[in-house]
Structure 1
């Protein structure tokens, strides 16, 4: 994306001094925002541990268990546009603080949910995800403007790498604190559900402290700039930009595929012809899946400074399709490592699609960010659909759905690469 010569917005230091976007003065703000990426990665990946845990406790079908992801990622669809309006009113920094406090409240709800049943768990997931949605809407545009536009994908990939660090640590923590204790001799479903109280109360406290620190930090303000639109793009609203609409579809399918694989991974590894692992043992492999994404994002941060983002996206999508097919039609260790390696392919997809879709939106950048975050609802719909396939055709065959999602991402990456070759 070497010919992206203009920022989608301007980063203006609050005291009127310091470096403009692209200077070394943005290192501090970038570090602070990266902390947010880490926290919501850790929280999101804990869902992959809780889904099989709650499924066993409440004797749920796969479709019923996927209501966790439906409520969690459904919040992105419901809250993203109101979050955009909130941030326009109170600013990106205060918006991020509000998101942290709402997410802390959602974590705190897990305490009463442990004794109230599955319904309150689902509501807690929705509240928690609402806070994370506000964070997403605030933080992603921050990263795209804290430096030159031509390296926006690279920069967002770097911060997403720390998001992946959180998703890597999360399942390991959940496996030790939640699944291991649940595997002991306990007095019924209520006692097993109570194993979530300690970890989520600790998360609530950490988010509240981070909100206080974030409020006190000195961050640059984001102001809409006069970006140069892509050739042939219309004006009037963010929806008029075709690459944004395609990017929103790409985000929907990518998040859906990534979340679906993570959600079913523990049950997939428990299949007799795959690995026959217990839930607690399989949780460690979920960390490997997300860890592959982390490694890939650090690699992508360097590679995508010289390689076209569209080409890199298309290559990774093609590799993901091949690996998922090996997992669907294979068995044993080949299927295990193939599905885990999909995490490596996922690495650059979200930041690359997000930054490509926002390019050229100018004063519609905030609206575009809200639309893209709303598209994260794919994490609710695709796992739900895969749950129906798993109930009807088995867990292994259900992974054909994520493969189909990656096919569209392959198309989007190839199309974007051609678009920039013509400029």
Structure 2
């Protein structure tokens, strides 16, 4: 290959990496606002906590039901088409939320339309998750996969922070907490999210015109899902993903009303929303940026175990403590969450003998398992109070720590060349360090 071709390949690879980071950003932005706005949604639709938590767990179910099929579609259509299609679905879903929340229908009809719109956003997120997570893992050497995915997830956290800030400012920051004002705020927040998604879609389409994509011929027929289902380690990783997603999402959904309580921090809903954004999700962002550096310098499974044990302690303090101790302990869980998803994902792919794409599809499907944890947290909050809710994620984090212990003992698996690299228009990227 001549120097011009090498330079061109380098530019294309850098463009691909930049687009991948933007994609992770908008995934976090659009996905975060629904759970953040649960206090406003309860007012707008007159819902109890269990009913409102549907906003948090319905997207998880959609993701789980679709991901195995999407893993097969990845090989049929390629990563380029999957990412662009996912961005398109997320953009449409955001606009649908705006129409649903402001439409002149009855309350029940509007809530159903809003859940449908959130399901469309979740489907778009799932489309991207299946393609983008595996793509990032395979953009370089296996030993740095956890660090690369952690960096990408840091942009996801940045998107979550932006999404939480938008939702808090428009819906929870209204001078009057009436249903019409909160409905208007929800519509405005998702309108902005849709516009940002559309801008990233346009940028991705320009880059995708010739810069990247998975070769269909090299990947066709390489996602036998049965192989992933028959891998004990892949199933263990799927369980870890389900536990993490359920714990992180359910805590994010209940933190605003938890911090709003007089017995904790006695914040206004707007203040609690900003605390959620800057401390809980901001902690995840800071932790992922730090984790990108740490994971280059230590065994990922070891760091995962330490983070999970930290989350166990923080969850226990939130459940059993009171006042500022409970409030700030709950907020620090975001920091401990930081590296969990990327490390669970990468060490599962590396240590399972099943094809990587099949494992990726299974792990994305496992996100649906988080819905069970979310529903359990909602039921616990209604019957025993917000503090007791934290005992549920505490147990989840304990199991993740156990998974990390086993992960530290297992070696990586050498896979067939076709499965271990992502062939694209920029060359065999996994051969680059």
* TM-score of the pair, normalised by structure 2: 0.86
* Runs of 5+ consecutive residues of structure 1 not aligned to the other structure: 1-15, 227-234
Match of 1:200 in 2: 190
- Map of 1:403 onto structure 2: 394
Task: Deviation per CA, 1:159-188: give whole Å up to 9, x if none.
Answer: 11111111122212211112112x4275xx
Q: CA deviation at 1:396?
A: 0.6
Which residue number in structure 2 is paired with residue 52 of structure 1?
39
Matches within 5 A, 1:372-387: 372-387=363-378
**Which of 326, 329, 344 is matched with 2:320 structurally?**
329
1:91 is paired with a residue whose SS is helix
**147-156 vs 235-244, which moves further:** 235-244
> Once the 2 structures are TM-superposed, how far is the Cα of residue 418 of structure 1 from its aligned partner?
1.6
Contact 1:26 1:147 in 2 (8 A): no
Kindly state the Cα deviation for residue 361 of structure 1 after the two structures are TM-superposed: 5.3
> What is the deviation of 1:47?
2.1
In 2, the alpha carbon distance for the partners of 1:414 and 1:344 equals: 20
Greater displacement, 395-404 / 190-199: 190-199
Give the length in aligned residue pairs: 397
Q: Classify 1:185/1:336 alpha carbon distance in 2 versus 1 (closer, same or farther; 3 Å).
A: closer
- Separation in 1 of the partners of 2:248 and 2:62? 17
Structure 2 distance, partners of 1:185, 1:267, is 14
Task: For residue 127 of structure 1, report the CA deviation from its aligned partner.
Answer: 0.8
Cα deviation for residue 384 of structure 1 reads 1.1
Please tell me whether residue 166 in structure 1 is matched to residue 153 in structure 2. Answer: no
Provide the rounded CA distance (Å) in 2 between the counterparts of 1:125 and 1:171.
Answer: 16
Equivalent pair of 1:48/1:171 in contact (CA under 8 Å)? no
| CA displacement, residues 271-322 of structure 1 (integer Å, 9 cap, x when unaligned) | 2210122211100111110000111111111111121111111111011000
- Corresponding residue to 1:176 among 160, 169, 172: 169
Deviation, structure 1 residue 201: 2.2
Decide which moves more: 130-139 or 105-114: 105-114
In structure 2, what is the equivalent of residue 243 of structure 1?
233
Per the TM alignment, residue 220 of structure 1 is displaced from its structure 2 partner at its CA by 3.6
What SS does the corresponding residue of 1:275 show, helix, strand or coil?
Answer: coil
Cα distance change of structure 1 residues 196 and 415 upon mapping to structure 2, 3 Å threshold: same
**Displacement after TM superposition at 1:380 (Å):** 2.2
Picking from 345, 368, 376, the partner of 1:354 is 345
Deviation at 1:363, TM superposition (A): 7.3
The answer to whether the 8 A contact 2:66-2:365 is kept is: yes
Candidates 249, 256, 267, aligned match of 1:259: 249
Alpha-carbon offset, residue 20 of structure 1: 12
SS in 2 for 1:276: coil
- Deviation readout 1:171-210 (Å, 9 max, x if unpaired): 12211112112x4275xx3453132222222322332332
- Relative to structure 1, the CA distance from residue 395 to residue 131 in structure 2 (aligned partners, 3 Å threshold; closer, same or farther) is same
Deviations 1:59-107 (A, max 9, x none): 2111101110121211111221222222222110111000011111111
The equivalent of 1:72 in structure 2 is: 59
CA 1:302–1:41: 2 relative to 1, 3 Å: same
Which residue of structure 2 lines up, in the alignment, with residue 92 of structure 1?
Answer: 79
| 1:272 corresponds to 2:267 | no
| d(CA) in 2 for partners of 1:421, 1:237 | 17
Consecutive unaligned residues of structure 2, counting only runs of 5 or more, are 220-224, 415-433
2:72 pairs with 1:63: no
Farther-moved stretch of structure 1 (320-329 vs 161-170): 161-170
Query: Please, what TM-score do these two structures have when normalized by structure 1?
Result: 0.88
Q: Residue in 2 aligned with 1:154?
A: 147
